[in-house]
Structures are given as C-alpha cells and as structure tokens.
C-alpha cells in the first residue's frame, strides 16, 4: 500500500510539471455583423495587434493622428503633449516647464492639416495653441459673452474646422459644443444632445401641477464627451453612458444629424470615435468591450479587440480613452490603465475585405469583384462576400449567378432585382406558350367539369351517408361565403367526424407547405434551420385553447353551444386559411418585392375574414347578440392568456420537480 501511494504521488508530481496547452490565436475574437440575419457572427481577424508603446507616457487620455501620420497624445499625468512617430518613437514633448506654454492636466488635442496644435488645457481652463515645432503661440480663455457669465470654461476635447472655428466640449456642459472663432469670440452653442424623456417624467407632467413641476429637477441633455472631424467637415459627437439613440451623431454645418439619432450596434457605452479617409467610422465601446467598425451610414461591419481592467496581455485593452486612424488604416488607441498606446494593423484578409466594401459602397461593383473573390478564397462563410459578388454579377447582368449569391447572403432586395430580370427574360421568351398553356388548362377544366356532370347523372345515386358527407364537405365553401346561414346549418347538423379530421389535416398540410414552399422573398430563411414542430405548435395551440376557452366562457355566460358544435364551428372557421393560403403561396414564388402588395393584401384579407368567421361562429353557435358576442370573445381571449400562463407555471414546476428527482437519482447512482 505504501509503494502504491508513493507511485501515485510521483505520477501527480509529474503531471503538475507538464506544460499546459497553448493556443496559437489572438487573445480576442473578431466578429462581423450580418445585417440580413441581424446577428453577430465570428470571422477571422480584420485587425491584429502590432505594437504597444508606453515608455514615455504617464496618463494618456486623448490621441490624434496627424496628416503626417505622427501620433499626438495628451498625457494628463505628465502635463504634456507627447508626439510619436508612426513607428512609436518619441519625437518631442510639447508643453513648457513654466511660463505661458506650461500645460496643466491637458485632456484633449487636435492637430490641423498645417500642423498647428490645439490643446484643451483643462487645468488652466483655456485652449493653448502651439506651432508644429512645439512653440507656444497663443491661448484662448473664456470668451466674453452674457451667455457665459455663470458657465465654467473647462475644455476637455476640441476640433477645429477649415475656417479655424473651434468646437469645444466643456466639462459637464449640457448645452452642446461651444463654438469660438480665431479671434476668441463666442459664436454660440452647437449640436446639443436631446433631453431624455422617461416614462416617469411623462407621468409627472400628467399628475403634478405647475407649482410642483417647477420644484422638480429639469431633465437635462447629456453632455458630449468626445468629438471627431472627418475630411468632409462633418463633426461626430460621442456621448458616454448613453442609452443608444444619438450616442454617436454625425453633424453637418447646420447641426443636423445625418444618422438621425439612430442607435448603433454596440453603441451603448461610447468612449471615443474616429473616421478613416474612406469615411468609415470606428469607435471604442465600453459596453460591448470592443473596437467597432461601421460604414458611412452607421451600419455595423466588424467588432474586434477585448477589454480587461486587470490585463497584462498584449493586445488586450485596460481602460481605453481615445482612438485614431492613420493613413495606412492602422488603429491607434490610448490606454490610461496600462499607460500605453496600442497599434492595430489590418490583416491581409482585412485589407481585401475593407477595399471590397469601400468600392462596393462607391457603386464600383466591377472593381470590387476581384477583392470579393480574394475574400471568398480566404473565407467562403462570410456572408458579405455573397452580397458583394451578387451585386457585381447583377451589375454584369449575370442574373442567375447573382440570384444564387444574393440568396446565400439573404439579401432580399438584391434578390428581387435579379429575379425580376430573370422573370422578364423568361416571359419575353415564353409568352406565347404561357398563354396557350393557360387557354389549354381552361378548356380542359371545362371538359372535365362537363364530363363529371354527365358521369354523376349516369351513375347510381350515392348512399345517404355519402350524400351527407359530400354535403358537409361542400358546406366548407358555403360557410365561407354565407357565414350566418352556414353556421346555422352546422348548428343543426352533426358533421361526420372524418370530415372534421380531413379539414384539419388539410389545414396542417397547407401550413407545412407555407413553411417550406413560400417564396424566398417572403420567407428568407434557411430551410434546414426551420423547427417545424415549433411552427406547428404555435399554429395549433391557439386554435385548441380557443375551443376550450370559448366553450367554458360561453357556457358560463349561458351560451347554447355544445362542445361538439364549438369544435365543428371552429374547424369550418378556418376555411379562409385553406382558400387564401394556396394562391398566396403560389404568388409568393412569382411576384417581386415591388409587387408584394398583392401577397400582403391577400394575407390581410385572409386574417380579417377568419376573424369575422370566428365572431359569427360564436354568435350563431351560442345564440348571442352582436355586442354580447364581442364581450364574450374579449373574455375568451383573456381566458386563453390565463390558460397559457397556468400551463407555463405547471410546466415550470413539473420540470423543477423532475430535475430534483433526476439529480437525486444521479447522486444515489454515481
């Protein structure tokens, strides 16, 4: 026994020194946003960490890349602007040790194309200006204006447009950006956020009087926390701790938001934004903990990177404070937690996919095609490739190839255009044959109908049972067209059970057909991913619970309908679904998006007709007047909700009980 224990200890000691498995991958994942599916999906890296520079930094809080690709960093802890080369070498430090050029806790920096450096010198409550050599030129203090008498002038970020007008974000200022010209004159506020209207504020306005409302704290707009300027003169504002809408805005000279207060994907914890030379938007989002890339219209493209407050890992951010893009599309990020500047560069895949997207957005589909083909060669699962190649083939009038790729990308708009052209070409080539085929079918239908009538007249009369069954089946159409008379017939008759079963099976078969054979434009899903049982449950359960709830409620309300009559009536009330679904299904495979009003109208008529059928059925079967019928239907709907809630609670408790005994069984067994 002693030898066995010694051997066991030796084995354990040997296993403890065995090196752990090492994974040769980046310390984060890259994702792309599929707008057609509305999902973030994993993809190979678009950007990869290249460098991290922190030797000369104390507390980097802002960053801008100049037109010369030099990186200008506002180092709040060192009271200086640190200038790095594109390789990360220290070139100079801007900020005198004393005198007018001395900086105090600078929080923002902006460099003009001419190399003039503007600093949001927060500690000194001014804007300090330096030339490209780092020599102090002048300062801008708080402008003289009656609007600013009670306002604190603590600039934290700024940009300067081509006219030399400064747009300054002040600490905790809800009025928006302060505009100031080169002479230091106040030009007004610009681009203020909208105040957030909450349900509580709305209720207060309804309940409280004017005196009480005057004592309430006003709902003020959130202050702008970061600014960026693109090559076209648009000003981008970032608002931290936003609720999504308007967290990033793209403002023109008139202050109009080109993004229209939209909510960006991964736009709930914005730290900073930057724009590359092609107009693509980059942000750092503290909520998703990612670096995100968007197109010119704010549509999400990619997300990469990772954040960890305790990070000691290369390429993982601690507390990022600012982002910038150089002329080679490298991403620079200042990180106050690790006191470093991170540099991320595009991978070969990233270069190809971003070039393809840029040309694609410029409408240069043919020029984008070689890049899309390179992307496809590297990753044939990236849906953006299918959409890009599909549009390229569509531009080349290769509509059949376009149709295939656009379907794979779930791009229904592009698919509709390709399909419309294919349908037009087919109709132009086969119009005579199509008209002849339709005429032939009409003639055959007339001949078959006449032959059937002669055959019916010549044969022996059907038995009473089959005459009754045939009458029950024909009543399906009669009830649909004459609901009051039809349901009175049903109330007085006992429908053959197999007819009820046949109608219900037909309804289920039509439902299955609509699930699997509805046209792609109206049902853009991957057929292999369809959960048919879930679809059928959601279709059948409402009908079953309607029968139960309707019978119970109407019985309590002195309704005359029997349970059998409720089943019969509820089955025949499905007639519009049978008669409308089939032509709708056929048309969904023929029409394009421009003509979808036909399919949508048929669907709307079908559901309205079914609603009328159920109302009339309830009125006739239970012998209610119209108003009483509507009241009882409302109670029935409430009862259906109650039944579902009760079933959900019972299922949850039953599952917990089952899980308890199962876990107990496992404990005893193992």
Average pLDDT of the residues in 118-128: 95
Domain ends where: 346, 380, 405?
A: 346
Question: Do 337 and 361 belong to one domain?
Answer: no
Half-sphere exposure of 290 (CA within 13 A, CB side): 21
Tell whether 152 and 269 lie within a shared domain: yes
Q: Domain check: are 455 and 470 in the same one?
A: no
Does 194 have pLDDT greater than 90? no
3-state SS assignment for residue 416: helix
Name the range with the highest mean pLDDT among 103-112, 443-452, 642-651.
103-112
Q: What angle do CA 363, 368, 369 make, to 5 degrees?
A: 125
Instruction: Give Dmax (Cα) for the chain.
Output: 118
Cβ atoms < 10 Å from Cβ of 122: 23
Residues 107-112, mean pLDDT to the nearest whole number: 96
Q: Is residue 28 part of a domain?
A: no
Q: Say if CB 21 and CB 8 are below 8 A apart.
A: no
Taking only the tens place, the pLDDT of each residue in 468-525 is 777 777 788 888 888 888 888 877 778 888 888 888 999 999 999 999 999 999 988 8
Phi, psi values for residue 121, rounded to 5°: -85, 80
* pLDDT: which is higher, 171 or 312: 171
Residue 91, H or E segment: strand 90-94
d(CA 362, CA 395): 13
The domain of 383 spans 347-459
Same domain, 237 and 384: no
Last residue of a domain, one of 459, 479, 504: 459
Residue 15, in any domain of the structure: no
Whether residue 323 contacts residue 333, with contact meaning beta carbons closer than 8 Å, is answered with: yes
410 sits in the region (left: phi over 0; alpha: psi -120 to 50; else beta) called: left
Instruction: Answer yes or no: do 263 and 149 share one domain.
Output: yes
- Report if residue 397 sits inside a domain: yes
Residue 528 has a pLDDT of 80
The confidence band for 70, taking pLDDT boundaries of 50, 70 and 90, is: very high
pLDDT in tens, 620-647: 888 888 888 889 889 888 988 888 888 8
Whether residues 556 and 611 share a domain: the answer is yes
Q: How many CB atoms lie within 10 A of CB 137?
A: 13
What is the per-residue pLDDT for 168? Answer: 95
Please provide the DSSP assignment of 434-457 as one string: HHHHHHHHHHHHHHHHHHHHHHHH
Structure tokens at 77: 């802890």
Number of domains in the chain: 3
* Whether residue 305 is found in the same domain as residue 373: no
CA torsion 639-643-646-648 (nearest 10°) is: -130
The span from the CA of 609 to the CA of 597, in Å, is: 18
Q: What kind and span of H or E run contains 200?
A: helix 199-207
Last residue of a domain, one of 330, 346, 362: 346
- Torsion region of 95: left, alpha or beta (phi above 0 gives left; psi -120 to 50 gives alpha): left
* Range of weakest confidence among 162-171, 341-350, 531-540: 531-540
- Mean pLDDT over 548-558 rounds to 85
Asked whether residue 80 carries a pLDDT value surpassing 60, the answer given is yes
Nearest to 416 by CA among 434, 392, 382, 390: 390
201 and 313 in a single domain? The answer is yes
Where residue 434 sits, what CATH number does that domain have?
Answer: 1.25.40.10
Domain annotation covers residue 25: no
Q: What is the pLDDT of residue 45?
A: 93
Q: What is the tally of helices (H) and strands (E) in the chain? A: 16, 25
**According to the model, what pLDDT value does residue 73 have?**
95
Residue 336 belongs to domain with CATH number: 2.120.10.30
Q: Is it the case that residue 24 has pLDDT exceeding 60?
A: no
List phi, psi (to 5°) of 668.
-70, -40
For residue 125, what pLDDT band results from cuts at 50, 70 and 90?
very high
How far apart are alpha carbons 41 and 270 in whole angstroms? 22
**Would you place residue 1 in the very low, low, confident or very high pLDDT band (cuts 50, 70, 90)?**
low
List the Cα angle 144/150/151 in 5-degree steps. Answer: 75
- The Cα-based distances of 482 to 247, 475, 476, 601 in angstroms read 57, 10, 10, 22
Q: Token pair 């200022």 is at which residue?
A: 173
Beta bridge partners of 177: 190
- Asked whether 116 and 131 are in contact (CB, 8 A), the reply is yes
Determine, yes or no, domain membership for 429: yes
Residue holding tokens 């779930």?
Answer: 410
Separation in Å, CA 69 to CA 65, 72, 164 = 6, 9, 21
Residues 311 and 169 reside in one and the same domain:
yes
581 and 543 in a common domain: yes
Chain mean pLDDT for the chain:
86
Residues 234 and 187 in one domain: yes
Answer whether residue 19 is part of any domain.
no
Residues 336 and 351 in one domain: no
Is 535 inside a domain boundary? Answer: yes
Confidence check: pLDDT of 20 > 50: no
Task: Output DSSP code: residue 21.
Answer: P
- For residue 449, tell me if it sits in a domain: yes
């Amino acid at each position: 026994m002693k030898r066995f224990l010694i051997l066991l200890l030796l084995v354990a000691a040997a296993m403890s020194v065995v090196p752990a498995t090492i994974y040769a991958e980046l310390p984060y994942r890259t994702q792309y946003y599929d707008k057609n599916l509305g999902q973030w999906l994993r993809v190979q890296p678009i950007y990869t960490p290249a460098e991290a520079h922190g030797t000369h930094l104390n507390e980097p809080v802002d960053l801008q890349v100049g037109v010369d690709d030099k990186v200008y960093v506002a180092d709040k802890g060192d009271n200086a602007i640190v200038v790095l080369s594109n390789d990360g070498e220290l070139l100079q430090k801007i900020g005198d040790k004393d005198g007018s050029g001395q900086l105090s806790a600078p929080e923002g920096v902006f460099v003009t194309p001419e190399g003039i450096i503007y600093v949001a010198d927060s500690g000194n409550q001014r804007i300090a200006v330096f030339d490209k050599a780092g020599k102090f030129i002048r300062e801008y203090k708080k402008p003289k204006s009656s609007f600013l008498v009670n306002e604190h002038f603590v600039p934290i970020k700024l940009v300067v447009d081509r006219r030399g007008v400064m747009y300054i974000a002040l600490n905790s200022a809800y009025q928006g950006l302060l505009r100031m010209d080169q002479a230091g004159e106040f030009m007004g506020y610009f681009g203020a956020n909208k105040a957030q209207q909450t349900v509580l504020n709305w209720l207060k306005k309804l309940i409280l009087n004017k005196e009480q409302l005057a004592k309430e704290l006003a709902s003020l707009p959130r202050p702008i926390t970061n600014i960026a300027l693109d090559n076209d003169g648009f000003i981008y504002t970032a608002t931290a701790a936003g609720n999504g809408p308007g967290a990033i805005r793209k403002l023109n000279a008139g202050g109009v938001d080109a993004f229209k207060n939209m909510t960006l994907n991964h736009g709930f914890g914005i730290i900073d934004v930057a724009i590359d030379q092609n107009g693509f938007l980059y942000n750092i989002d503290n909520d998703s903990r990612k670096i995100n890339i968007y197109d010119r219209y704010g549509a999400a493209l990619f997300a990469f990177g990772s954040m960890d407050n305790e990070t000691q890992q290369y390429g993982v951010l601690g507390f990022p404070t600012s982002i910038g893009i150089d002329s080679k599309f490298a991403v620079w990020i200042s990180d106050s937690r690790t006191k470093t500047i991170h540099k991320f560069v595009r991978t070969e895949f990233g270069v190809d996919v971003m070039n393809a997207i840029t040309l694609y957005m410029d409408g240069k589909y043919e020029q984008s095609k070689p890049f899309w083909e390179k992307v496809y060669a590297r990753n044939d699962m990236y849906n953006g490739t299918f959409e890009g190649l599909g549009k390229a083939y569509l531009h080349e009038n290769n509509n059949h190839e376009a149709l295939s790729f656009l379907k794979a990308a779930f791009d229904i708009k592009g698919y509709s255009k390709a399909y419309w052209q294919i349908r037009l070409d087919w109709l132009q080539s086969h119009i005579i044959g199509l008209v002849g085929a339709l005429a032939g079918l009409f003639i055959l239908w007339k001949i078959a109908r006449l032959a059937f009538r002669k055959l019916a007249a010549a044969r022996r009369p059907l038995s009473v049972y089959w005459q009754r069954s045939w009458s029950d089946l024909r009543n399906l159409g009669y009830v649909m067209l004459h609901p009051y008379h039809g349901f009175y017939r049903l109330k007085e008759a006992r429908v053959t059970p197999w007819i009820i079963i046949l109608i219900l099976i037909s309804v289920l078969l039509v439902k299955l057909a609509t699930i699997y054979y509805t046209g792609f434009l109206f049902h853009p899903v991957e057929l292999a991913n369809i959960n048919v049982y879930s679809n059928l449950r959601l279709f059948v359960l409402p009908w079953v619970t309607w029968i139960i709830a309707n019978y119970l409620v109407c019985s309590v309300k002195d309704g005359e309908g029997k349970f059998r009559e409720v089943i019969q009536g509820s089955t025949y009330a499905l007639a519009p679904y049978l008669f409308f679904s089939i032509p709708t299904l056929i048309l969904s495979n023929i029409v394009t998006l421009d003509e979808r009003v036909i399919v949508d109208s048929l669907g709307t008529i079908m559901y309205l007709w079914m609603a009328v059928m159920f109302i009339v059925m309830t009125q006739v079967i239970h012998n209610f007047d119209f108003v009483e019928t509507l009241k009882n239907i409302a109670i029935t709907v409430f009862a259906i909700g109650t039944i579902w809630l009760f079933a959900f609670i019972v299922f949850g408790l039953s599952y917990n009980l089952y899980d308890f005994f199962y876990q107990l069984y496992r404990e005893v067994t193992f």
